Structure 1
């Protein structure tokens, strides 16, 4: 137990909830600056693509890729069974789908960023006070609270200060666009070609099988009593039958090729739609995602503050519930195992030891405290004040004099004027209130002074220490 009567287990419980409480510690400044950040960079109105959009787009691309992935699996694993080829087709389709979705989204973001760069360069060219080069100010940022650093700058400068992934010359980049278009073209043309070759192979096999059927079997036995048709008529019938079969095969091939071309067009259109989604859902600013996260749920700053205040209240409620459960166990354990009255009293009176007071004490201890309350010998003594001339009173605040009833020889207190309110509390009263965690009505300065004085106080002698001291005296005498 420390000087403020907090048990170590209580502090451990409170410390475990402090990070979650700090996570929802926000202010109106961050909300307002986040909105201004999006306005300056031009990302207002952009929303990132939601998970269900990602899922739907991935499923559509996967369905499109599954068809030609099965055809490719037949060529990659020619000696494999049907089951193995199906598994290979699923793997190839997943690989192609992931690459296509990633590349197209990146290309859409690159196109939007190039649009922003073009806007900056256009305004820069028409600015009569333009500098020689476009050099973004890296000191401007949202989290660093320097978003207002360029308020007096032109709009093109404000956009340039916040754009992400720009090169040294502040020019457009087409790398992802070239890679994506090349990959889409290779997949579309390659898949169509492979499908077409499979179609040609099937047509050749059909024609070959038909010709073998027309030749008949070498083991066939002719009926000697059957009348044979004239040779000219038989030849004419075979030519007509072969022509009809080849026409059917050609029609089938033309239909197959047109189907494959339509599938390629649908595939390309789907990739164009994916690029469009990337263009509309990608932020161009370096901290636009964080600014969007802070503002997209809230129409105004009041709803923003209320939302995070409710989150903090939930954390505080859970923390206090866990702390109260622990304190009830501590009270039972103190009665059973502790013989010290101050421990039992502290365990039975935990009302002032709550999560809110612990958080306030933690903030005060982490803050700077340059003023130290003077102390004498081992214990804290009230500050001695000599007689002083009467001073003119101010509204609700008066200057009072405090004298130490007993002054030790050789100690000459320095005169000091103390400003107090009508409800005057002595230093001893303040220290006692801090020890009991009764912080209401006390200023931060008073609490810090009292904490310093408590740290300088001599620890009270426990029963065990007193017994050991008396035993030592008995042995020495």
Structure 2
């Protein structure tokens, strides 16, 4: 049974390897990026998409939403961060002070390319190694062992070179900061650890090298380390030299077998001396082929070394050294300024609103009586983030922190509570003149929000009157 399984694996090894690699790449890609389009595709696929499946569910939640509305909004809201302009600037300042501003996480395409290059290079070496490790094994066993060695070697080299390159960059930066500290020896190397959620101006009274160390160093004594660099170099040299020696020795054994004296095919008869062995005649060009093979092995070793140093260079050029720089970059979407940051969020909000409207249309088409929907995706964000105490998304003009004009959501803290207080003040105003005076005391943005709240309240009152009026008629 085992031989049959190994035979099937060996026969379809490349198809199986391709399926496993494609599945792994897709899983890592989706997990790494949490892609918005994956969520959008799950809702828009005809027949089996979530909008199609949700179009017959009219169950209501306790806060005026349908359950399917809240589910859709919650799924899309996962991709919409909630940074105000001040928070964005605070995150950007953190990245600037750690020298991570402008750096990027390791692109997935480069990871895939390096994995393919290292895997292909390891393929030949692992084939020889697998053959030597299973001299008495079948071809299927050798193939399976070869694939196992290729996988392990590729993963180890990919991780090791990237870690070494990243450590090299971090340690070089920390040593540079420490040299600046030695020149300015009147201060400590670090004054405190500054976290991302703290005001980044908290240590502006310190020199730049102290501010950087406050966000990069794990402690006052952290000067970095080159240990991973030395481990990576040692491992790379061992693999390069070992694979070259293995190829040369394999070539020598093949040539020795070819040059071994050939015994007579006729056995000696009784009373006759055994026939002497016939020396093999050297093939023409054998020495040239030997030298060409050695040159090829040298080139393969050089290509292997260059590829590993490219992997280290990639680790040096990508990634973040600040203790929370990766989190800051992820929250700001890698945007250079708030306007470009907001443009991406606005596009996602527009798409989410379109999907919610599409769901409303399908719900209305299947309903037995007219339905009215008054809430949008922005309303959901406002309610949810107001309930959690974070910043809210509200329609606003440019003066409230967003780059957009009227109708473009921007981030405003605790807007719901302010609107509640303004509406309450209007209700308590005894005369129309007093109400007008109250409204004039609000800024333009708050006036818009109060107007929206009053219109929604009036619409709810009319619906309640109609419900009471026609309660006994349907």
Same fold, TM exceeding 0.5? yes
Q: Would the alpha carbon gap of residues 257 and 328 (structure 1) be closer, same or farther in structure 2, given more than 3 Å must change?
A: closer
2:250 corresponds to 1:194? no
CA contact (8 A) 1:13 1:323 kept: no
Contact 2:95 2:329 (C-alpha < 8 Å) held by counterparts: yes
Distance 1:463 1:446 in 2: 25
The separation in 2 between residues aligned to 1:441 and 1:61, in whole angstroms, is: 58
Corresponding residue for 1:12? 67
Q: Summarize the Cα distance change of 1:357–1:279 in structure 2 as closer, same or farther, 3 Å threshold.
A: closer
Deviations 1:418-474 (A, max 9, x none): 9421799xxxxxxxxxxxxxx966379989999xxxxxxxxx99989xxxxxxxxxx
CA distance 1:172–1:354, shift in 2 (3 Å): closer
Structure 1 residues 50-94: Cα deviation after superposition (integer angstroms, max 9, x where no partner): 222222222221221111111111111111222332332222122
TM-score of the two chains, using structure 2 as the length reference: 0.63
1:442 to 443, 450, 453: 450
Q: How far, CA to CA, are the matches of 1:364 and 1:446 in structure 2?
A: 19
Secondary structure, counterpart of 2:353 in structure 1:
helix
Checking the alignment, whether the CA contact within 8 Å between 1:364 and 1:444 is kept in structure 2 is no
Unaligned 5+ segments in structure 2 are: 1-58, 270-275, 389-415, 440-446, 459-467
Q: Which of 1 and 2 has greater Rg?
A: 1
Q: Kindly state the Cα deviation for residue 361 of structure 1 after the two structures are TM-superposed.
A: 5.8
Q: Counterpart in 1 of 2:186? A: 129
Confirm or deny: 8 A CA contact 2:423 2:450 kept in the other structure: no
User: Residue 252 of structure 1: CA displacement?
Assistant: 4.9
Instruction: Report what 2:169 is aligned to.
Output: 112
Task: Choose between structure 1 and 2 for higher RCO, CA contacts under 8 A separated by at least 6 residues.
Answer: 1
Indicate how the Cα distance of structure 1 residues 217 and 310 shifts in structure 2: closer, same or farther if over 3 A, else same: same
SS of the residue 2:104 aligns to: coil
Are 1:66 and 1:93, in contact at CA under 8 Å, matched by a contact in 2? yes
Q: 1:69 aligns with which of 102, 126, 147?
A: 126
| Structure 1 contact 162–286 (Cα < 8 Å) conserved | yes
Q: Quote the offset at 1:188 in angstroms.
A: 1.5
Between the aligned partners of 2:318 and 2:234, the Cα distance in structure 1 is 23
Aligned-partner Cα distance in 1 for 2:170–2:383: 48
* Equivalences for residues 74-89 of structure 1 within 5 A: 74-89=131-146
Q: CA RMSD in A?
A: 4.3
Name the residue aligned to 1:281: 318
Classify 1:441/1:102 alpha carbon distance in 2 versus 1 (closer, same or farther; 3 Å). closer
1:374-432, CA deviations, whole angstroms, 9 ceiling, x for partnerless residues?
9xxxxxxx97xxxxxxxxxxxxxxx7569xxxxxxxxxxxxxxx9421799xxxxxxxx
Q: Which runs of 5+ in 1 are unaligned?
A: 1-5, 221-234, 334-346, 375-381, 384-398, 403-417, 425-438, 451-459, 465-477
Task: Report the number of matched residues.
Answer: 359
2:115 matched residue in structure 1: 58
Match of 2:436 among 421, 426, 451: 421
2:392 corresponds in structure 1 to: none
* Deviation of 1:372 (Å): 13
Q: Quick one: distance in 2 between partners of 1:257 and 1:373?
A: 87
Distance 1:267 1:31, change over 3 A: same
Shift of residue 152 of structure 1? 2.6
The whole-number CA distance in structure 1 between the counterparts of 2:251 and 2:301 is 16
2:76 is the counterpart of 1:29: no
The one of 350, 368, 372 aligned to 1:313: 350
1:121-164, Cα deviation, whole Å (9 max, x unpaired): 01111114312xx34633431xx152232223211112112216
Q: 1:355 to 1:91 in 2, by over 3 A?
A: closer
Q: Retained in 2: the 8 A contact 1:140–1:150? A: no
Shift of 1:7: 4.9
1:113 deviates by: 0.5
How far the C-alpha of 1:45 sits from its partner, in A, is: 3.4
Distance 1:441 1:212, change over 3 A: closer
In the TM superposition, 1:1-400 aligns within 5 A as: 7-8=60-61, 10-19=65-74, 20-21=76-77, 23-24=79-80, 25-131=82-188, 134-135=189-190, 137-141=192-196, 144-163=197-216, 166=218, 169-208=221-260, 211-212=261-262, 217-218=266-267, 245=282, 252-293=289-330, 298-327=335-364, 329-330=366-367, 332-333=368-369, 350=372, 352=374, 356=378, 400=430
Residue pair 2:422, 2:450 contacting (<8 A) in 1 also: no
